[in-house]
Amino acid sequence: MTPENTAPGRFMTAEAAQSMGVFAQAATQQVNNDVLGKPRAIYTIARGSSDAVANILSYEFMRELGVPVTSLPPSVFSIGAGVSLEKVTVLVISQSGASDDLVLSAKGATAQGATVVAITNQRDSSVELESNMTLSVCAGPELAVPATKSVIGSIGAGMALLGALKPGYAFKSRAAADKLKDLS
């Protein structure tokens, strides 16, 4: 018999149980919307599971804001000169906030005129330092490989951002967070 503290899947089980609280905290965080303005478009830059989060958020942002939201590959900035990004918001999503290509993307997007918003799980990360504002994933340390808390927290942080861009949406975000708090 395997002791409970070494059982396969123990990290995933523990972190999945924490994910509702992580979402609630991320979705209800305060967002300084003085920086945001009214973007004419939103571009997302992310990789892996963070890119899946960006895709999920893009549908919600387009539906609620009526502006186009699409993904840019990090290589636009890491191996290219970038694209014009005046009057747009660029959302860089990264659990670590340390990947060189995402740091270069945040820096390049700022240089091209974008308002860059970082969603990360690491305070004072390199991506955050190159961004105009940061939202926390609120996941804390994560040991499970699937990064469940970071994915769910990133969606919550995106909902908090959407609530700042469209104040009526903040009510929906808080209501969803309250329902999850009741379940946890």
Q: Is residue 62 part of a domain?
A: yes
Cα separation, 47 vs 28, whole angstroms = 25
Domain span at 165: 36-183
Rounded mean pLDDT of 27-52? 93
| Structural domains in the chain (count) | 1
Q: What are phi and psi of 174, to 5 degrees?
A: -65, -40
- The domain that contains 59 carries what CATH number? 3.40.50.10490
User: What whole-number percentage of the chain has pLDDT above 90?
Assistant: 64
Q: Is residue 51 part of a domain?
A: yes
116, β-bridge pairs: 90
Alpha-helical segments (H) within the chain = 10-27, 48-65, 75-78, 100-111, 126-129, 148-165, 167-183
Q: Is residue 58 part of a domain?
A: yes
Look up residue 99 and give its amino acid.
Answer: S
Q: Is residue 57 part of a domain?
A: yes
Q: Is residue 128 part of a domain?
A: yes
Cα separation, 65 vs 38, whole angstroms = 10
Higher pLDDT, 176 or 120: 120
Q: What is the pLDDT of residues 104-123, one digit of tens each?
A: 999 999 999 999 999 999 99
**Model confidence at 33, in pLDDT bands (50, 70, 90)?**
confident
pTM: 0.91
**Model confidence at 1, in pLDDT bands (50, 70, 90)?**
very low
Q: Is residue 7 part of a domain?
A: no
Q: Is residue 130 part of a domain?
A: yes
Per-residue confidence (pLDDT) for residue 4, from 0 to 100 = 61
Per-residue confidence (pLDDT) for residue 51, from 0 to 100 = 96
Q: Is residue 19 part of a domain?
A: no
CB burial class (10 A; 0-12, 13-18, 19+) of residue 60? middle
